[in-house]
Structure 1
Amino acid sequence: MDWYTTVFEVIDMRSFSNLWYWVVLAVAWSSISHWVLGVPFDMVARARRHGGQAEQDLEDLVRINANRILFVVEETGVWMTALVSALLSALVVLGLFYGVEIAQAVFLLVFPLTFVGLLSIHSAHKVRNGENSGEPLWRRLRIHRMTTQLVGMLSIFLTAMWGMYHNLSSFIL
């Protein structure tokens, strides 16, 4: 038997047993938790430490991104909700009822992002309604980042559990 054939029999190159899926999952959550309302979190720390121009830049960038998020929500909110609901419903039906593994994998990647999207909308509203400078802004961005990280950790854990269950059950059967 060929070495490559043995490796590809042991490591099935489908979604949950594919290394690239796990790399995408890790990179996605790393990027999402680093960028808070479109602002890199190191910029928040720099603004808090140094103040002055760094603080003004942070406030301007957060204001611009919050207004952009709220504009998109106000213009396309109903359509976006319908589209995301249809996509998630299709993934659930394909993944759970028809057993399509890639649909399960994409659902486990995309579904938690809807919570992060809703959190971003909530934070953007808070920024627009007064938490747009100084300590209230830093607190809002910190809460947003910590909540995003919590959703990410839970998502990665549940995806890993489902992926292990799926790989073990397909290996045994």
Structure 2
Amino acid sequence: MDLYATLFEIIDMRSFSNLWYWIGLAVAWSMASYWVMGVPYDMIQRAGRVEGDAQDDLETIVRVNCNRITSLSEQSGLSMIAVASAILTSLVIMGFWYSIEFAQAVFLLMFPMMFVGLLSVRAAIMIQRRELSGKALRSYMLRHRLMVQLIGMVAILITAMWGMYHNLAYGVLR
């Protein structure tokens, strides 16, 4: 038996009819909304309830992650945007011009995550610029989380609609 045939049979490249794709999509978006700029959501909640050391821990982790994000965006932001654009363009061409379902599925997962990344860079810059701390920091982080969740809801809706259209138009079993 051919190795590639066995591999593709196990992986099943028909993404929109594959349960694992939808589980992966749900996990990706739940992780994106739980880890707000690299800070777990429960840490933000605990800092709001307990304050004191919990607030100090939150501010420290946010400061470290903001420094990391802004440093990365300053040093290699342009090249990261160029590589991401090339990858997304390749996925669009393969997926929607050549009708490769796997490329469509990866594009529908990656494209909205690009906006989450850009939103995180913007949030890190704003937190540093405004020198947010205490309640103002928690409020800003929660607003950022809400924006990520809204992007995720729209992305999941569009992906689900495209997946249903694809399965109805082209059939689940080819």
Q: Shift of the alpha carbon at 1:131?
A: 4.3
Does the 8 Å CA contact 1:25/1:109 hold for their aligned counterparts?
yes
CA gap of 1:169–1:33, structure 2 versus 1, over 3 A, is same
Does the 8 Å CA contact 2:95/2:103 hold for their aligned counterparts?
yes
Match of 1:103 in 2: 103
Match of 1:8 in 2: none
Match of 1:160 in 2: 160
Match of 1:83 in 2: 83
Aligned identity (percent) is: 54
Match of 1:132 in 2: 132
Q: Shift of the alpha carbon at 1:130?
A: 2.0
1:22-171, aligned counterparts within 5 Å?
22-171=22-171
Q: Deviations over 1:102-142 (max 9, x none)?
A: 00000000000010001100110111112431121011101
Structure 2: tracts of 5 or more residues without a match: 1-11
In the superposition, the TM-score normalised over structure 2's length comes to: 0.90
Q: Deviations over 1:48-96 (max 9, x none)?
A: 1111000000000000001100010001011001000000000000011
Q: Distance in 2 between matches of 1:67 and 1:131?
A: 12
Does the 8 Å CA contact 1:94/1:103 hold for their aligned counterparts?
yes
Q: Distance in 2 between matches of 1:29 and 1:147?
A: 12
Does the 8 Å CA contact 2:108/2:159 hold for their aligned counterparts?
yes
Name the Cα RMSD after superposition. 1.4
Match of 1:19 in 2: 19
Number of matched pairs:
162
Does the 8 Å CA contact 2:13/2:101 hold for their aligned counterparts?
no
Does the 8 Å CA contact 1:88/1:107 hold for their aligned counterparts?
yes
Does the 8 Å CA contact 1:15/1:21 hold for their aligned counterparts?
yes
Query: Where does structure 1 differ by over 2 angstroms across 4 or more consecutive aligned residues?
Result: none
Q: Shift of the alpha carbon at 1:13?
A: 6.4
Does the 8 Å CA contact 1:131/1:140 hold for their aligned counterparts?
no
